[in-house]
Amino acid sequence: MTIPTNEQQLTTPAGAEVADLSKAPMPTASTLKRRRSILFQLTRFAVFNARIMRMVHKGAH
C-alpha cells in the first residue's frame, strides 16, 4: 500500500541564485534524537523564556 504524498515542484525564480547544500553537514543520530525529544525541547523552551524574562526585569530591553 502506498501513502499519497503532497509533493510540490519547487522552482527557482529567474535570476535567483541557488544555494549548494550538497556539502552541508548531516545531523548525527544524537542530534536528531534531541530534536525529537519533547522533554529536551520543553527544557530549552523554559530556559529561553527565563532568559528573556530576566532581561525584561533588568530593563535591558
Tell whether pTM > 0.85.
no
Q: Between vectors from CA 16 to CA 19 and to CA 13, what angle results, nearest 5°?
A: 115
Domain boundaries defined on the chain: 29-58
Q: Grid coordinates 556539502 are at which residue?
A: 23
- Which strand (E) or helix (H) includes residue 21? none
Tens place of pLDDT per residue across the chain (61 aa): 566 666 666 676 777 788 888 899 999 999 999 999 999 999 999 999 999 999 999 986 5
